Chains A and B, each alone.
Chain A
Amino acid sequence: MANFRRFRPDDLNKLSKCNLDPFTETYDLGFYLQYYAKWPSLFQVAEDQHGNIIGYIMGKLESSPDVYRFSEHYLPWHAHITAVTVAPGARRLGIGKLLTEQLELAADAGDAWFVDLFVRVSNHKAITFYKNMGYSVFRVVKDYYGEHSTDPTLSSEDAYDMRKPMKKDVKREHVREDGEKHEVDPSDVW
């Protein structure tokens, strides 16, 4: 049912199974193409037998700007998961996990120290999913999201910055056990 391969721009004409799902954001063309232009191996898709895209992951390889090199929040060369989505009809088959693994392979090939991502603290399903894949909370970014996903009375929501060390981080220097206790401001995240 599924093929895993690198994204191609023509896939943008086949995104409906994923992007008509209200929980999947549709971005500007430039946003997708920026990722494809700069990090093609970190933009992977799963397609069904008819060529419809039923899942994709977009990621990037980067470090914090040099100007922050001496900041405690400086991030060394790492991969970041920007978006991962699976069409409702293709869930519970491990497609999200496989896409994430593909990105991790590309991150290792790109010599990254770790892979990181942001997730709402209320998104328990996603947090469990990533924990099962070896990710752990590195820090809590206070009020990272402008609105709360479940409580309309709240005007913001915290994010977990979760990480998984890559092969390069042999000594596991870039992860920590008690990440939930480390709180930072959104202004500390670049």
Chain B
Amino acid sequence: MSSYRYGRPALKSSVDVQLQTAFSDGNWSTVIRLATKRAAALKDPYYEAIKMCAESQLDGTAEKCGVVVAIDDLVKSKKTPDIETIELYEWACRDFFDYEVEYADTLGPLRVRWAKANPGSPLALQCLQSCLEKWDLVSAQQIATSLDKAYANTADRRYMFWNITLTFLLSISPQCTGASRKVYSLLAARQLERAADLTENSAKLEATDRGLLTEEEICLYYRVLLSHGTKDEFISRFKSHKLGAISQLKEGRKLLLCEGLDALETWAEWELIYNLCREALTLGLEGATSPFFVCNLQIWRKFASAASKVADSDSALGEVQAILKRYIELKDKASAMYKKNLSLALLETTFRLPATPLNPSNYTPGLSPRVVQLGLFLDQYFERLSAFDDVKDYVAELSFEEIKTLMEDILPKLLDENADKPRKTVLHALQYKLRYLLSTCPQTLSPQPSAANGEAQKPYQCLKTLIADASKSYRKINGDKDILDSIPRLDKDPRLDLALVMGTSLLKLSGLRPRTPDAGHSLWQDVDPELFLQAVLLLDTQLRETPGNTELRLLLVQLYLLLGCASYAYQLWTPLDVKRTIQDSLSPLFFDRISSLSPGLFQGTRPLMEPLRSFYSHNLCDRSPVRIWDAFAAGSYTSILDMTEYDGNLRKSCTVVMTLVEERRATRCYGGKIDVEIEEHALAENINDDTILVNKTDYGPFPNLESIHGPPIHEYLRLGPGLSNERSHLAFLSEQYMDLLHYKPPKDYKPSKASEVALRDREHTLETLSRLSNSLTGFLHQPATPTRLTAPETTYYTVLSLLSAALLIALSSPRSDPVPQTLSLLSKSIKSALASLRTSFFALAQQGTAAAANQQTQTHKTSTLPSACLHLTELPHLAAIRDTALAVRHSAAFVLAFHDKELARDRSGRSGLHREAMAEMKALSELAGRALAEVKGCVHRLKEALAEAGWLDRLLGLVFAEEGEDEGELGKVVEEVVGGRAAAEEWAGRVVESWREGVKGWGMVRME
């Protein structure tokens, strides 16, 4: 690593002590004086460089920039400076890189010149490293080429492969222009092709030969081939006798086989996949590799899947079974994991076989080989934590008859009467989970009777029965000391599974569905509050029993966010300790839309999203991927490619945009200062309209009892559609629009030619508005966008798109011409959008009141829901009204201020804005003002409502029947599981307190 990274570079040892001391002390005026003298006396340009370097440390802009000019001159002069001068200049420019100074145009070419002139010097390697750290691939590739030539046919093979890797990286990088892209692609591919031929054709390769030797070199070759070669070339080499996947496997290298099979799958090369898997698995049986070396489930699945798709699939599947049988004979020697892989492979193969009765002469409907295999698998593994996940997709494939047989005949007989109670309990818990799963499978729904409990029932009745049965088991466990004592010895507390079954069943019964844009405007319009709250209460009670279970905790975090209890959700989120590297994939589970739900959370002592921001700032501060030089130094070529790809995705992560946007929105809520425009933010450097933003949210830790036939559980629980390229871009553009409206020149900025500057500002404003209008409209009209936003979000971004177009017209239409009619149309659209946003929100309370007056027609307890509750779960909608109204108001203010500025610039008044345009803007502003007053009123009413006494009783009244009321059967069941109404009071207190905290935060939000 270059010394300048750690501080000032060391001066040449030939420099006198006086100058050395002044330099190391940072005594810059002395350094300048002494260096000037030495330069004059010794005629050595190095002293000029020292002087420039010292001047760059002074405060004056001209002195600071002197070094940039010096570098520019040096680059143009085609001279090769000495390495010490380059080091000095690089250190002096360290703060300018990526802003005023582009490394690839300045220091990069100087480093290239030096390295080309001195390829044998160890310092040439340092030049390569410096260019890589600045991610100047053009210069790095040139240096690597020189090093490769200088060290050709030496035992250090890295030079050759650095050259090839960098040529390849350049060929796929935006740093490479169109014409040269093809050249670099060819160059990388040809060099590797030659190396591959040499390997194939040599009896034995020495380290000094330019062939492919190591696993990393060979895998690099295949990666390049996959990118720049043809399918035929890839396949031909993949089957070859030395560099083929099977030959490599024989040498103990399985990476190539795994990567290659994935590629073949995308090309649907089933015959080849089948043959390769067969050969690979046979090697293990024949002792050419260790027996279970390739015994991955992935390989078995690919093998069985390919066998079912080749020409003679019957015989191929027969071969799969034969090989599997041979492995099963070895099973005793295998570890538990491989034994399980084999059992799963057997299941996979059975499910890929054509459906045939097990014994045609004695056919029992439903007792198919698939059911038998499932029974055998569960017989071995039903006690394992992963048993349900292992079989759920297979069970979902079964026919109605098969399901019936599995549930009624096979599973109940897995344990005999005398089996111990804990094992029976675990088996029952699994059966309940499977019953829930089956309630989500189409084959169990009407018109066929439901098989979820073996009887003909409607789906909701089936879930009710399931809840009742599961609760019985739950209570039985709690009442049995033997079972309770045995729980620590089990893989998982069976009560957790039972609670999940009951909780998710209640959620389903409540009517909860994914919050897609067409969903109702209020959670309570979709769900029965009684059942929904019962589910939350039941799951929350279970979390108190099993606080260490992350699945349940995450589920509850989402449920409380949905319920509008952000502060309580945050309390549950914090112990998950989502920090450092896993933040990018997990933070959206809590932070997405958080500023619109609960801006008050940002008012804590520590900035809420600081850890996330620091993670990105720390890891994306350099242009190069983190630790990339380590991979070069170690000769890990596939690591280089993967790390580069990962880094690229991290820079384009939707979570990065979410972090920036959520913080800025919350800051604006409280009138805080936004330090930098979003477009200028270092983390947004790589984002423009063409960037495809990547969503890597990890939903893996959620419990998921749903079948593949429906959406996974997390989609039911989110506040709206998950992060996406479209939503992230719209959010990013909306913040740019806000930046434009709120821009204020620095106070000390007093241009001498104010009028000229004002004219340039005007042009810039119009250009920005035009760009934002086009971009917002473009993203709003993308086909996927409607499914990526909630309805209020769509309205907000639509209004911004209309506003930017309206402002563009208002500001650019000459006063001498009539105002284009479009302005009035845009204004109408804005008014109508704002009106619909307001109406849909404020109508909720009226709906609640109307419902209360019409209780007879209600099928659930929405009627008894306090009207405040209707709004508490819809705070993101309230935020959208506020944001939209404020955007309108600030846009109007911007137009009026623009008019005033124009009048000041041009006293003739000709450049001022149209009176009609001004009037239109004023009308919009008034409308927005009214909307903001309504928002303020709503928050005030919520605060008053929550300050009233009796909330605990109201909430508990929703969950359980009031005294004297006929309590529903599910209410009784939940009450028994959670330990009675009294036990639920504490929970109700937490919910109400969290609502109060959220509304308190909203009470401080500025409406101006």
Interface locus among A27-35, A112-120, A170-178 = A27-35
Known: A16-B585, A16-B700, A40-B639. A33 touches B626 (CB 8 A): yes
Q: Nearest CB to that of B647 among chain A residues? A: A9
| Residues of chain B with a CB closer than 8 A to A109's CB | 252
Question: Is A17's beta carbon under 8 Å from chain B?
Answer: yes
Known: A13-B584, A17-B701. A93 touches B627 (CB 8 A): no
| Residues of chain B with a CB closer than 8 A to A17's CB | 700-701
Question: Is A75's beta carbon under 8 Å from chain B?
Answer: no
Question: Is A188's beta carbon under 8 Å from chain B?
Answer: no
Known: A9-B646, A37-B631. A26 touches B581 (CB 8 A): yes
Known: A5-B296, A22-B577, A48-B389. A16 touches B634 (CB 8 A): no
Q: Nearest CB to that of A49 among chain B residues? A: B297
Q: Which 10 A-B pairs have the closest CB atoms?
A: A9-B646, A37-B631, A37-B630, A13-B585, A52-B700, A94-B335, A3-B296, A33-B627, A16-B701, A20-B550
Interface locus among A84-92, A123-131, A145-153, A159-167 = A84-92
Q: Please name 7 further chain A to chain B contacts, defined as beta carbons within 8 Å, in addition to the given A15-B585, A34-B627, A37-B627, sorted by A numbering.
A: A2-B297, A2-B341, A3-B297, A9-B643, A33-B630, A37-B631, A93-B336
Interface residues of B in 611-628 (CB under 8 A from A): 615, 618-619, 625-628
Q: Nearest CB to that of A101 among chain B residues? A: B335
User: B768: shortest Cβ distance to chain A, in Å?
Assistant: 35
User: B894: shortest Cβ distance to chain A, in Å?
Assistant: 40
| Residues of chain B with a CB closer than 8 A to A32's CB | 581
User: B196: shortest Cβ distance to chain A, in Å?
Assistant: 21
Q: How far does the alpha carbon of A109 sit from the alpha carbon of B251 in the complex, in Å?
A: 11
Q: Nearest CB to that of B627 among chain A residues? A: A33
Are B335 and A98 neighbours in the complex by a CB distance under 8 Å? yes
| Residues of chain A with a CB closer than 8 A to B625's CB | 33
User: B579: shortest Cβ distance to chain A, in Å?
Assistant: 6
Are B579 and A92 neighbours in the complex by a CB distance under 8 Å? no
Interface string of B673-710 (1 = CB under 8 A from A): 00000000000000000000000101011000000000
Interface string of A40-59 (1 = CB under 8 A from B): 11000010111110000000
| Residues of chain B with a CB closer than 8 A to A89's CB | 385-386, 491-492
User: A124: shortest Cβ distance to chain B, in Å?
Assistant: 17
Q: Nearest CB to that of A32 among chain B residues? A: B581
| Residues of chain B with a CB closer than 8 A to A51's CB | 700
| Residues of chain B with a CB closer than 8 A to A10's CB | 642, 645-646, 649
| Residues of chain A with a CB closer than 8 A to B700's CB | 14, 16-17, 50-52
Q: How far does the alpha carbon of A106 sit from the alpha carbon of B31 in the complex, in Å?
A: 54
Are A6 and B255 neighbours in the complex by a CB distance under 8 Å? yes
- Residue of A28, A32, A33 with most partner-chain B CB within 10 A: A33
Known: A9-B646, A13-B698. A90 touches B386 (CB 8 A): yes
Are B627 and A40 neighbours in the complex by a CB distance under 8 Å? no
Interface string of B92-134 (1 = CB under 8 A from A): 0000000000000000000000000000000000000000000
User: B295: shortest Cβ distance to chain A, in Å?
Assistant: 9
| Residues of chain A with a CB closer than 8 A to B42's CB | none
Are A27 and B581 neighbours in the complex by a CB distance under 8 Å? yes
Question: Is A1's beta carbon under 8 Å from chain B?
Answer: yes
Question: Is A39's beta carbon under 8 Å from chain B?
Answer: yes
Question: Is B638's beta carbon under 8 Å from chain A?
Answer: yes
Question: Is A169's beta carbon under 8 Å from chain B?
Answer: no
Q: Nearest CB to that of A21 among chain B residues? A: B550
Question: Is B762's beta carbon under 8 Å from chain A?
Answer: no
A-B contact pairs, 19 of them (CB 8 A): A1-B386, A2-B337, A9-B643, A9-B645, A16-B582, A16-B585, A16-B700, A16-B701, A20-B578, A20-B582, A20-B701, A26-B581, A29-B626, A33-B630, A34-B627, A37-B634, A37-B639, A48-B389, A89-B386
| Residues of chain B with a CB closer than 8 A to A13's CB | 584-585, 696, 698
Question: Is B344's beta carbon under 8 Å from chain A?
Answer: yes
Q: Nearest CB to that of A89 among chain B residues? A: B385
Residues of A at the B interface (CB closer than 8 Å) are: 1-6, 8-10, 12-17, 19-22, 26-30, 32-34, 36-41, 46, 48-52, 88-95, 97-98, 105, 109
- Residue of B384, B580, B584, B625 with most partner-chain A CB within 10 A: B580
| Residues of chain A with a CB closer than 8 A to B696's CB | 13
Q: How far does the alpha carbon of A20 sit from the alpha carbon of B554 in the complex, in Å?
A: 10
Q: How far does the alpha carbon of A89 sit from the alpha carbon of B490 in the complex, in Å?
A: 12
Q: Nearest CB to that of A46 among chain B residues? A: B337
User: B852: shortest Cβ distance to chain A, in Å?
Assistant: 43
Question: Is B576's beta carbon under 8 Å from chain A?
Answer: yes
Are A12 and B643 neighbours in the complex by a CB distance under 8 Å? no
Q: How far does the alpha carbon of A20 sit from the alpha carbon of B349 in the complex, in Å?
A: 34
| Residues of chain A with a CB closer than 8 A to B698's CB | 13-16
Known: A5-B296, A26-B579, A29-B580. A97 touches B335 (CB 8 A): yes
Interface residues of B in 311-342 (CB under 8 A from A): 335-338, 340-341
Are A15 and B491 neighbours in the complex by a CB distance under 8 Å? no
| Residues of chain A with a CB closer than 8 A to B550's CB | 16, 20-21
Are A40 and B296 neighbours in the complex by a CB distance under 8 Å? no
Known: A5-B296, A14-B698, A37-B630. A26 touches B582 (CB 8 A): yes
Question: Is B525's beta carbon under 8 Å from chain A?
Answer: no
Q: Nearest CB to that of A47 among chain B residues? A: B298
Question: Is B946's beta carbon under 8 Å from chain A?
Answer: no
Among B258, B296, B336, B579, contact of A94 (Cβ-Cβ < 8 Å): B336
Q: How far does the alpha carbon of A4 sit from the alpha carbon of B300 in the complex, in Å?
A: 13
Q: How far does the alpha carbon of A8 sit from the alpha carbon of B340 in the complex, in Å?
A: 24
Q: How far does the alpha carbon of A46 sit from the alpha carbon of B216 in the complex, in Å?
A: 21
User: A25: shortest Cβ distance to chain B, in Å?
Assistant: 9
Question: Is B548's beta carbon under 8 Å from chain A?
Answer: yes
Question: Is B952's beta carbon under 8 Å from chain A?
Answer: no
Question: Is B636's beta carbon under 8 Å from chain A?
Answer: yes
- Residue of B340, B627, B638 with most partner-chain A CB within 10 A: B627
Question: Is B586's beta carbon under 8 Å from chain A?
Answer: yes
Among A2, A26, A33, A48, contact of B643 (Cβ-Cβ < 8 Å): A33
| Residues of chain A with a CB closer than 8 A to B389's CB | 1, 48-49
Interface residues of B in 461-480 (CB under 8 A from A): none
Q: How far does the alpha carbon of A3 sit from the alpha carbon of B337 in the complex, in Å?
A: 10
Are B580 and A28 neighbours in the complex by a CB distance under 8 Å? yes
| Residues of chain A with a CB closer than 8 A to B636's CB | 36-38, 40
Q: Nearest CB to that of A96 among chain B residues? A: B337
Q: Nearest CB to that of B636 among chain A residues? A: A40
- Residue of A2, A34, A90 with most partner-chain B CB within 10 A: A2
| Residues of chain A with a CB closer than 8 A to B578's CB | 20
User: A7: shortest Cβ distance to chain B, in Å?
Assistant: 9
User: B473: shortest Cβ distance to chain A, in Å?
Assistant: 21
Question: Is B390's beta carbon under 8 Å from chain A?
Answer: yes
Are A39 and B627 neighbours in the complex by a CB distance under 8 Å? no
| Residues of chain B with a CB closer than 8 A to A37's CB | 627-628, 630-631, 634, 636, 639-640, 643
Q: How far does the alpha carbon of A11 sit from the alpha carbon of B582 in the complex, in Å?
A: 10
Q: Nearest CB to that of B634 among chain A residues? A: A38
Among B338, B581, B638, B701, contact of A40 (Cβ-Cβ < 8 Å): B638
- Residue of A20, A32, A97 with most partner-chain B CB within 10 A: A20
User: B265: shortest Cβ distance to chain A, in Å?
Assistant: 14
Q: How far does the alpha carbon of A89 sit from the alpha carbon of B493 in the complex, in Å?
A: 12
| Residues of chain A with a CB closer than 8 A to B615's CB | 29
| Residues of chain B with a CB closer than 8 A to A2's CB | 296-297, 337, 340-341
User: A99: shortest Cβ distance to chain B, in Å?
Assistant: 10
User: B588: shortest Cβ distance to chain A, in Å?
Assistant: 11
Are B646 and A98 neighbours in the complex by a CB distance under 8 Å? no
- Residue of B586, B625, B639, B649 with most partner-chain A CB within 10 A: B639
Are A22 and B548 neighbours in the complex by a CB distance under 8 Å? yes
Are B341 and A1 neighbours in the complex by a CB distance under 8 Å? yes
Q: Nearest CB to that of B583 among chain A residues? A: A26
Interface string of B489-507 (1 = CB under 8 A from A): 0011000000000000000
Among A12, A30, A88, contact of B627 (Cβ-Cβ < 8 Å): A30
User: A41: shortest Cβ distance to chain B, in Å?
Assistant: 8
User: A175: shortest Cβ distance to chain B, in Å?
Assistant: 24
| Residues of chain B with a CB closer than 8 A to A14's CB | 585, 698, 700
